[in-house]
Chains A and B, each alone.
Chain A
């Protein structure tokens, strides 16, 4: 009998260890606490000339903690916008006032509580005229509360969650495409490619983000007359998709949608290919836009993924004109060149573009309002309907979802073979496409 108990004990021990290991794997890598945050001020404070006014733009960046990399990129983008505007002489108002921008930022340590303290400080001590969000939906939700409390207009970027804009806020505006529309573009593309496609399968990671995205996409698919033949979540630690692939094959869908993060998404694509599954159309979250996805080789061919922005996206003044939307700001080419010149030729990620776009939105609103007075700027924000290098920008002005981004579409990229080499092509929306989509894949 005692042997049975030893075995149970051993199992519990092993299980505890496995769970602890899994937990540890996901925990944030805590960087040492930073020095007391210093405001990044413009290097040279010019003597205030007649009618020159400094506009304070406040935000926090995750200089430490788990969001360090994307947040730093986002800040780089925002700073790039600010430097360009100031260097070009600032924004000139009709009454002759010249506006120059000044960034005040702190390290939020990727921590929600710090975000609320620091945004309060930005609003009260630093008297920020405008706010930009931190990176990530979670931190942004925390910052939005403060922005609303002090009534300071805030542009959010690097934050896709829909929930923040459904709290009845009036001063918060989203630059990113919301999570609910991450996969709907793929359904639009499918309808465009094949009017006869009727069956879709959703296979997604059991995480909050992926579940939200997939549920929204499922509702959208059903609304458009699709038959959802499979809707199945998988464990975030999944290694073997074989059983799920068998289910997919039995359901014989026209399209496979879903995914979650990088590891599961790339494993899924690889195993579909190795199993020789007949896949006509596949769009996965997060993994495909990453450059390392190309390591899958032939298994990557045809895989589609949504991205907030890609350097290859061809949003141009011409495509804006064709769509009947006003063009604003630099072209994607100018933006990419300027970034590469400053960063040893490295391609800008969508985080950089998102940071820059946030500044651009603010600039446009101030120019339209012809003032930095809050109410006028908010009114101008509501009226924004423009095309930029980042894509179409337009906000929901209804009471239920004020500030939600409704203009910007996810760009869909597809891995295609070009002379034996894998390249990421933009295939949707059509206004920004660089190649025709491959359909069916195999």
Chain B
């Protein structure tokens, strides 16, 4: 029993870091501009296919491909910001929900037309890591490490660099930030771009370990919502913590009951947190 608990917990944490990374993308955008990005799922899926295509068509190592996907994600995010978000950013929240939902439908529509909804696999393996007491596919461990590294880099960026500090300033109080000479529109676009980048990187990492299809982002988007609420809205560190908790639930719950109970428990938790501690475990940004 001890063995299976330990293995399941580690497995859960490994995938949890990646969930956390995806959720960070959602929570960063929300924290900075109060926009819930409903195109989050399809953007995760685009990250998956970015890595898949770079790997399959160009023979690129998937972990190198993730870097290219990150750059594309950043640009795509900035583009989406100027096309679909910037004009509705001060409108009532429903406008930005609908506008990002439209982006969601557009990506899904194009993706389905081009790639169908069939599943694809990134046929790449790093062998199996066997420590005797614990075994896991090498690519799963590598993906988790990359996710962790990305998180660290994000923190360094937000707390140690000037643009990062600008983003936090705009998140804190846009008007004051503007008064201090911070170009808020450009900073908002950058923040949106980084949010999308995190989603695509998470998607790219998922593609290295699990089968993908154009609709697969949807389930990670839902997980991101739960994580964001769990960790605290607009709080990136909370998202990481929430991701780890969700991963642990997914790893440990099946030890005691049927795996089909996992989503039930996840969403019950979601509702409970909203009712009892709506600011999340680490507290929301306000």
Contacts and interface: CB of A to CB of B under 8 A. Distances in A.
Nearest to B252: A243
A297 to B, nearest CB: 8
A203 to B, nearest CB: 9
B49 interface: no
Interface residues of A, number: 42
B51 to A, nearest CB: 15
A252 B190 CA distance: 51
A242 B12 CA distance: 9
A271 B121 CA distance: 12
A263 interface: yes
A232 B260 CA distance: 9
A6 B251 CA distance: 30
Contacts of B8: 243, 246
Interface stretch (A18-26, A153-161, A217-225, A345-353): A18-26
A270 B140 CA distance: 13
Contacts of A242: 11, 15, 251
Contact of B3 (A8, A250, A267, A275): A250
Contacts of B137: 271, 274-276
Contacts of B119: 263, 267
B78 interface: no
Interface residues of B, number: 53
B38 A10 contact: yes
B251 A243 contact: yes
B169 to A, nearest CB: 21
Given A7-B229, A270-B121, A14 B278 contact: no
B110 to A, nearest CB: 14
A242 B135 CA distance: 11
Contacts of A233: 258, 260
Residue in A6, A8, A15, A274 whose Cβ sees the most chain B Cβ within 10 Å: A274
A13 B222 CA distance: 10
A244 interface: yes
Interface stretch (B68-76, B122-130, B158-166, B237-245): B122-130
A25 B258 contact: no
Contact of B36 (A6, A25, A235): A6
Given A239-B211, A295-B123, A275 B136 contact: yes
Nearest to A234: B259
A274 B128 contact: yes
A239 B216 CA distance: 9
B260 A14 contact: no
Given A18-B218, A242-B11, A274-B125, A13 B97 contact: yes
Residue in A10, A277, A297 whose Cβ sees the most chain B Cβ within 10 Å: A10
A17 interface: yes
Nearest to B37: A10
B176 interface: no
A22 B123 CA distance: 25
A388 to B, nearest CB: 36
Interface string B262-277: 1000000010001000
Interface string B31-57: 000101010010000000000000000
A84 interface: no
Interface in B195-232: 210-211, 215-216, 218-219, 221-222, 225, 229
A400 interface: no
Nearest to A22: B215
Interface string B133-167: 00111011000000000000000000000000000
Interface of A: 3-4, 6-11, 13-15, 17-18, 21-22, 24-25, 206, 232-235, 237, 239-240, 242-244, 246-247, 249-250, 263, 267, 270-271, 274-277, 295, 297
Interface of B: 1, 3-4, 7-8, 11-12, 15, 34, 36, 38, 41, 93-94, 97, 101, 104, 108, 117, 119, 121, 123, 125, 128, 130, 135-137, 139-140, 210-211, 215-216, 218-219, 221-222, 225, 229, 233, 250-251, 253-255, 258-260, 262, 270, 274, 278
Closest 3 CB pairs of A and B: A276-B128, A18-B218, A243-B254
